[in-house]
Amino acid sequence: MDLYNYHRRKSTTVQIGDTPMGGDNPIRIQSMTNTSTLDTEKSIAQCISIIDAGADYVRLTAQGRREAENLADIRAGLRQQGYSTPLIADIHFNPQAAEVAACNVEKVRINPGNFTDRAKTFTHHDYTDEEYRAELDRIRERLVPFLHICKEHHTAIRLGVNHGSLSDRIMSRYGDTPRGMVESCLEYLRICRDEHFDHVVISIKASNTVIMVETVRMLVEAMDAEDMHYPLHLGVTEAGDGEDGRIKSAVGIGTLLADGIGDTIRVSLSEEPRNEVPVARLLVDYITARAGHPAITPPAANTPEKPGDIRTCDIIGAGCTPVVIAEKAGNLTPDYLYAGSHMPSAVPAQRTIVDYTNYHPMRQVFPLFTAAQASSMPSCNAEVCFAAISCDEITDEWLNCVMATPSAAIILSSRHINPVGDLRAAIARIRASQCKAPIILHMQYDEMLAEHLQMKAGADLGALFIDRYGEGIWLQNNGTIPQGDICDYAFTILQAARRRTSKTEYISCPSCGRTLFDLQQTIKRVKEATAHLKNLKIGIMGCIVNGPGEMADADYGYVGSGPHRIALYKGKECIERNIPEEEAVTRLIALIKANGDWQEKE
C-alpha cells in the first residue's frame, strides 16, 4: 500500500457471467434484493430496478432449496426481458442450497462462519491442535463437493466473512478479532487453492469501520504472503440509512478504495435497494479519478501521529476529543464557530474564531492566521491561535513560526486531487520537523447536493481519522447546503471513524428476502423514539444471520425472529423473544429504561 500516491492493487481476474471482476476491469457495483426469492415476478422487477440504476451484479438470498431452485426462473425471466446481468445467490447455514444455486446463477456467496458450522452461541471451547485439524478436515469434506459443482457450471464463489457471524470455533481460538476474521477466510481459501479453484472473490465486512479497514488490510498482507491475489468485495455491514449510512459507508469503503484496495463494492443502506447503486457509483468514480495524479513526493522520514506527543492548546491536542469547527451549529454544536472577519461586539457564549486582520483580544475569541501572516503568531497571547495552511504552502519558515508559538494549532488543507495522500505527506513533514502543534484537518468542497458532500468528505476525512491523523475537523462547502447540516456531517464523520461519539448510533441492516417485517418503517419508529439519547448504540436487524454478532458492541438490539416477531437484546444477551412487532418499540424503550439508560427528551 502506498500511503501517498493512488494506484489500484493488482488482483487476479474472476469471470462472473459476462462481467469479469478484478484485474484491469473497472470496480464493479452491486446491490441486493429484499423481495422473497420465492416471489418470481417481484424479484424480477426489483432486479430490473437495480440493474437500471447501474448495478453490474444483483444478489438474492436463498435460504433453502426452494429459493435456490427458483433462482433459475428469476434468471430466465430476466433473460427473456433482455437483461444479462449476472446474479449472485446469498447462502447462510445451508450447503445444500448453495449446491443448487451454483447450477442456476453466475456466483454464489457462502459465509465461512456458518457454511458448515452451527449458528453461533458465543460458547467457548478449548480445541486441541488435533481437534482443530479435525474441524478443518470436516470443512474440506463439505466444501470440496460444492467446488466441483461450481467448476462444472463455471460458477464463481464469494467467501463472505462477516464480523457478526464468525463461528464459535474461530471465536474460541482467535477471539472476536481481525485476526480471527482473516483466518476464517484463509481456511477456505487454502482449500480452494488445493482444489485448483481460482474463481474466488473475497469480502470481510463489519459494521465497525475501524475493524473493517484493519481486517481487510491484514487480509491483503496475509494473502500476499501466501501468493494469493484474489479480488476483493468491499462493504460496511449494517451501515444504516440517510446521512449516517452514506457517511459511514464512505468512511469505511472510501478508506480502502483510497488505498487502492477493492474490485467491487456494495453500499448497504436500509433503504430501497436501487438507492444504493448511485451512491456506490459516486464513491467509486470520486476515488478512481485520482489515477495518474501528479505525484506526491513521500517524506524523507514517515513519523506517524503519536497522540501522546501532541501538545495541547485550549481543548485541542493530546488527550482531547477531536474538535469540530463550523460556521453554524446544526443539531450538534461545534466546539468553535468560525466568524470570518466579524469580530464579536461582546464576549460570545461560544468559542469563536476570527480572521487575524479583524481580531483583538477578547475572552472566548481566537485569531486565525493565514500563511502570509504567520510571522505575527509568536507575539500572539491568545490561549490558542490557528495557523491556516495548504499542504503546498508549507515552508521551513512557516514551520519555525508555528514552533515558536506554543499556543498554535494548525489548520491543514489540501487542494490536490488526492487529498488523502497529500495530507498524509504534509503531516509526515510537519512531524518530522519535530513540530508538536495539534492539526485540524480542513477540506473545502463545491457541492450542490448533500449526498455528494457526505460521500466525498466522508471518504477524504474519514480515511485520515480512521488512521488516527488529526486532532480536529473543519468541513466547508461553497454550495447551497445549509451550514448547520455541514456541521452535523463533520460530527458524523468523526463518529463513523470511531473518534468521537455525539449521538445515538444505529446499526441497521439493509434488509433482504430473509427479513420478515418492514425494516424501513421499523427503523423510522425506533429513531423517532430514541434519537434524543446520547452515546448509545442500537442494533436493528432483519434476522439472526448477523444480528447478535454485529450487535456485539451495541447496547441494545432489535432483531427479527419470525414473521412480524421480534427478539430484544441487551448486548449479546437475548432478553425477550417472540414479541409482536406492534409492541416491540414500546418494549425496547422499557428495556432501556430498566437498565438506567433512558433520558427524557428535553
- How is domain 505-594 classified at the architecture level of CATH? 2-Layer Sandwich (3.30)
Indicate whether 175 pLDDT > 90. Answer: no
pLDDT band at 445 (very low <50, low <70, confident <90, very high): very high
Mean of pLDDT over the chain: 93
Quote the CA–CA distance of 492 and 358 in Å, as a whole number: 32
Indicate whether 542 pLDDT > 80. Answer: no
Q: Name which of 114-118, 249-253, 449-453 the model is least confident about.
A: 114-118
Which residues, 6+ apart, have CB-to-CB distance to 267 below 8 Å?
235, 236, 239, 245, 246, 249, 253, 276, 279, 280, 283
What average pLDDT score do residues 81-110 get? 96
Starting at the earlier edge strand, list the strands of the sheet with 573-580. Answer: 505-508, 537-541, 556-562, 565-570, 573-580
Q: Name which of 297-306, 520-529, 553-562 the model is least confident about.
A: 297-306
pLDDT band at 119 (very low <50, low <70, confident <90, very high): low
Q: Which fold has domain 307-496?
A: TIM Barrel (3.20.20)
What average pLDDT score do residues 180-193 get? 96
Indicate whether 602 pLDDT > 90. Answer: no
Q: Which superfamily does 13-288 belong to?
A: Dihydropteroate synthase-like (3.20.20.20)
pLDDT band at 552 (very low <50, low <70, confident <90, very high): low
Structure confidence at residue 303 (pLDDT): 60
Indicate whether 322 pLDDT > 60. Answer: yes
Convert the pLDDT of each residue in 409-434 to its tens digit.
999 999 999 999 999 999 999 999 99
% of residues, the chain, pLDDT over 70: 96
Q: Name which of 54-63, 291-300, 359-368 the model is least confident about.
A: 291-300
Structure confidence at residue 206 (pLDDT): 87
Q: Name which of 16-25, 36-45, 181-190, 551-560 the model is least confident about.
A: 551-560
Structure confidence at residue 507 (pLDDT): 83
Q: What is the per-residue DSSP string for 385-438?
A: EEEEEEGGG--HHHHHHHHT-TTEEEEEE--SSSHHHHHHHHHHHHHHTT----
Structure confidence at residue 163 (pLDDT): 85
Structure confidence at residue 548 (pLDDT): 61
Q: Name which of 243-247, 264-268, 512-516, 585-589 the model is least confident about.
A: 512-516
Largest CA distance in the chain: 79
Convert the pLDDT of each residue in 480-505 to its tens digit.
999 999 999 999 999 999 999 999 88
Q: Name which of 40-44, 173-177, 588-592 the model is least confident about.
A: 173-177
Which residues, 6+ apart, have CB-to-CB distance to 492 below 8 Å?
243, 244, 247, 248, 454, 458
Domain ranges of the chain: 13-288, 307-496, 505-594
Structure confidence at residue 122 (pLDDT): 62
Alpha helix positions (H), 226-275: 242-258
Q: Name which of 103-107, 124-128, 277-281, 410-414 the model is least confident about.
A: 124-128
Q: Name which of 24-33, 213-222, 254-263, 303-312 the model is least confident about.
A: 303-312
What average pLDDT score do residues 124-149 get? 92
Q: Which of 270, 517, 579, 532 is nearest to 569 (CA)?
A: 579
Structure confidence at residue 302 (pLDDT): 64
Quote the CA–CA distance of 420 and 529 in Å, as a whole number: 38
Structure confidence at residue 273 (pLDDT): 94
Structure confidence at residue 165 (pLDDT): 81
What average pLDDT score do residues 562-589 get? 89
What average pLDDT score do residues 328-343 get? 96
Indicate whether 118 pLDDT > 70. Answer: no
Indicate whether 540 pLDDT > 90. Answer: no
Which residues, 6+ apart, have CB-to-CB distance to 363 below 8 Å?
347
The number of beta carbons lying within 10 Å of the beta carbon of residue 214 is 20
Quote the CA–CA distance of 353 and 341 in Å, as a whole number: 9
pLDDT band at 238 (very low <50, low <70, confident <90, very high): confident
Structure confidence at residue 546 (pLDDT): 55
Q: Which of 191, 177, 60, 59 is nearest to 115 (CA)?
A: 191
What average pLDDT score do residues 531-542 get? 85
Higher pLDDT, 599 or 454: 454
Indicate whether 555 pLDDT > 80. Answer: yes
pLDDT band at 125 (very low <50, low <70, confident <90, very high): confident
Indicate whether 550 pLDDT > 90. Answer: no
- Give the bridge partners for 21, in sequence order: 14
Q: Which of 406, 357, 400, 338 is nearest to 375 (CA)?
A: 400
Indicate whether 460 pLDDT > 80. Answer: yes
pTM of the model: 0.93
Question: The dihedral of CA 76, 78, 80, 82: what is its sign?
Answer: negative
Question: The dihedral of CA 331, 332, 334, 335: what is its sign?
Answer: positive
Answer yes or no: same fold for 13-288 and 307-496: yes
Long-range contacts of 304-312 (CB under 8 A, 24+ apart): 304/428, 304/431, 304/468, 305/427, 305/431, 305/468, 305/469, 305/470, 307/468, 309/436, 310/436, 310/437, 310/438, 310/471, 311/406, 311/436, 311/437, 311/438, 312/438
Q: Map grid coordinates 427458483 to a residue.
A: 70
Indicate whether 564 pLDDT > 90. Answer: no
